[in-house]
Amino acid sequence: MPTALESKIAYIDLSKKKVNVKTTPREWVKRLLGGRGISALILYGLLKPEVDPLSPENVLVVSIGLTAGIPLPSARVNIGAKSPLTGALGSSNCGGHFAPEMRRAGFDHLVIVGKAEEPTYLWISDGNIEFRKAAQLWGLDTVEAQEAIKDEVGDHSAQSLVIGPAGENLVRYANVRTGVKSSAGRTGMGAVMGSKNLKAVTVRGSRDIEFAYPDKVLDLCIRFNENLRKTRFFTVMQVYGTMHIFSYTNTAGIVRVKNSQSNQLFPSDNIEAEAVRPYSVGHEGCYGCPIQCRHRYIVESSRYGLIYDEGPEYTSQGCWGSMMAINSTECMLVCNHLVNRLGLDTLETGSMIAWAIEIFEKGLIDEKTTDGMILRWGSPETVYELIEKIAYRKGFGAILAEGPKRAVEKLGSATAYYNMNVKGMSWLQTEDRAIPSFVLGVCVSTRGADHLRSRPAIDLFGLPKEFLEKLYGAPMTSDYTSYEGKERMVWGNELEYAVIDSLGLCKFACSHFITPHSIYTDTFNSYQELSELVYYVTGLEITGEQLKTCGERIYTLERMFNLREGFTRKDDYPPQRYFDEPLPSGLPIVRGKRMDRRKYEKLLDAYYTLHGWDSNGVPKAETLRKLGLTEEEVKALVGEVFE
């Protein structure tokens, strides 16, 4: 029976149609847990610097979390490679039902190299891996492809990771999808699959999943779910999903409007969480999750007819509402449907379109560039057309499909100021320049502008200064616009997220649902409880402090990957607009705020110090020795499997 501790790695060569299966070394699990952590180790160990991300030499890693299959929100799968969007670490994960099914099928990690001669999908079942032709699937959208595969393998319980037309056409921010909604959205992992002629990875297993102490696992899961149900967020998420966040952020003035020209959208009634309820036909959730946070919805579109989909999330709400200055429920739901079916990262797509509209508005491009299109705010038809042009690389869409860095090169340096990105990946749908902790977290993220490497939402709660100082063990402030102590919030959140991702748990369930009075006490957020979970699942004794060190090791390893690819301190800054332009609206605490460069420099220095990195953001020799990440040690670890 497959277990988390005695898991298997399949090395799959698409070019040669060969498979080599190994056992995951126990030392890998002790040091890096699973999922995101082991993915980072494999990528750093196997990839040579400066490899073209769209070449056969890129390595694609599919890695499930250490706790996959337990009755908790623990169904995350991580997909990693060198990013075709940024040239830095490519790493993205999603929920759904794929991860536990992959473990039942006999594998925890897939390492995919080479390029298939023709469109191919992998069929993985009970320890067997087959290379199957996928010409009949090429061109299908992400839901059609999954249904066709289920019919072909004769099992409608099979779970797939698939790409859509965007991945096939090598859009640099194409995503990987499973189910109707779950998306490994960022860094362009769908384009890597497309470059390898890999349409899908499909898994189905009949094996039981074995735990070291199953009764203890069950008891801990029951306790966690009971605590989860006590929180207000649980109730809100069951009704509205993440969409409920928008009312707070729009009211405060921390949403991105018209590509960061403004920070509030009014009126916004048709993109608020309540607006979706008339279209909702029920709720859906990931494996093992009691929350069921996603709407299932039906909308009769004037352009596309009857549409069924799931979501949208807060990100899509911002991308297709506030960022476009469109107050339309139908537009939001249709755009969510289009990017899901075509296999596009909703955030990157929305940001690139918003940038295009602004530079058109400012006269930096014209109708000759846009295939005759007049780009303007508030136009659903403009957005629909550009989404399709991007996915199929048609005309102007082919330029936007290249992502921030390459699109700026094509459209001219004058457009760069308006392209809101870090490391070549677009900023969020949020407007963060009044919140230094959020800005720092986004900018130092190991995969480009991103909130899923660190998002210390606790900073917004207005908690007592004394409480925060006790929690973080350093001078802090309750003012979220202050810079004081915010490096500690970001650093602590990074380590926690790295552990959560590597265990395969849902961040919302482990972190966002924590009420202020219970942080690190009676909820499932403490390292001690995570330590218990690891022990009951695997039998491995990893203390809470050791888990925290695992988080540091994972984050530093990802930093090492990016440094090797040429990224330095200069890549850890927000767009120039954040320093130049004050926010025009919002609450008094937000209005008029912009980033202070001198204070940000000090914040960045303090953050590096916490990690044990030098002033250029390079891990110090003693830090690498402490974490067991010297070149010799990493080579020895990787050499255990990949000689």
Fold of 235-426: 1.10.569
| pLDDT in the model for residue 238 | 87
The boundaries of every CATH 1.10.599.10 domain in the chain are: 436-629
The boundaries of every CATH 1.10.569.10 domain in the chain are: 235-426
| pLDDT in the model for residue 518 | 43
CA quadruple 392, 383, 186, 199: dihedral sign? negative
The boundaries of every CATH 3.60.9.10 domain in the chain are: 8-204
> Distance (Å, rounded) from C-alpha 257 to C-alpha 251?
13
C-alpha closest to that of 313 among 332, 299, 330, 291: 332
Q: Per-block average pLDDT, block size 10, for the chain (643 residues)?
A: 75 98 96 98 96 98 96 94 98 96 97 98 97 98 98 97 98 98 97 98 95 94 86 86 94 98 97 95 91 92 93 96 98 97 98 98 98 97 98 98 98 98 98 98 97 94 92 93 97 95 90 44 64 95 96 98 98 98 98 98 98 98 98 94 83
Burial class (CB in 10 A: 0-12, 13-18, 19+), 541: exposed
Unique residue bearing structure tokens 């980072």: 40
| pLDDT in the model for residue 523 | 38
> Distance (Å, rounded) from C-alpha 471 to C-alpha 500?
19
Q: What are phi and psi of 12, to 5 degrees?
A: -115, 115
C-alpha closest to that of 31 among 559, 622, 505, 546: 546
Q: Identify the CATH number of the domain defined by range 8-204.
A: 3.60.9.10
pTM: 0.96
| pLDDT in the model for residue 5 | 64
| pLDDT in the model for residue 226 | 86
Domain 436-629 has CATH 3.40.50.300: no
> Distance (Å, rounded) from C-alpha 41 to C-alpha 553?
10
* Cα 142 from chain centroid (whole Å): 18
> Distance (Å, rounded) from C-alpha 396 to C-alpha 213?
57
Burial class (CB in 10 A: 0-12, 13-18, 19+), 317: buried
| pLDDT in the model for residue 521 | 43
C-alpha closest to that of 19 among 91, 114, 84, 118: 114
